[in-house]
Copies of this chain bind each other. A is one copy, B any other.
Amino acid sequence: MKLSTRGRYGLKAMFDLALNYGEGPISLTSIAERQAISVNYLEQLISPLRKALLVESVRGAQGGYMLAKAPAEITVGVILTTLEGPLAPTDCVVIDGDEDICDHSNYCVTKVIYEKIYESITSVVNSISLQHMIDDYKVNQESQIISSICECK
């Protein structure tokens, strides 16, 4: 039930872009440095985020990436699902009716549990935006608490 580095690194990178929102394109090299992630790997993560229209890119020298929308319009949920796929504990709660994995799709005692888990995760991540993270970050900076983003691998 762990998130992979794709989701975690991707979220860090998006938060980094959110902190620099409105300041033109930010290069992956600088994000990678600040967030301690390999540039090559980060390139692979930003690609689906761009295709999902969450970031825009500017090619060439002095190019880089920027959020495609305001931080308030981008949720943690959309970032994580773009990078990790549905945040579901099993495949059966996600795949739709026709192509169902399981014969007991109409009713299954364990499936209802997995659906509840899925809903609760979705509800949490969809309720948090990048703007919430920024606000949170700044409040804690002001109150002298060392406010940062983790270096966890």
Cβ contacts under 8 Å, A149 to chain B: 104, 108-110
Given known A-B contacts A76-B113, A109-B137, A88 and B148 have beta carbons under 8 A apart: no
Q: Is the CB of B1 within 8 A of A121?
A: yes
Enumerate A96-121 residues with CB–CB distance to B below 8 Å.
Answer: 101-114, 116-117, 120-121
Does chain B have a CB within 8 A of A30?
A: no
Knowing A1-B1, A101-B152, A117-B121, say if A145 contacts B107 (CB, 8 Å).
yes
Q: Are B151 and A107 in contact (CB under 8 A)?
A: no
Cα A87 to Cα B147 in complex, Å, equals 26
Q: CB-CB < 8 A to A151: which residues of B?
A: 102-104
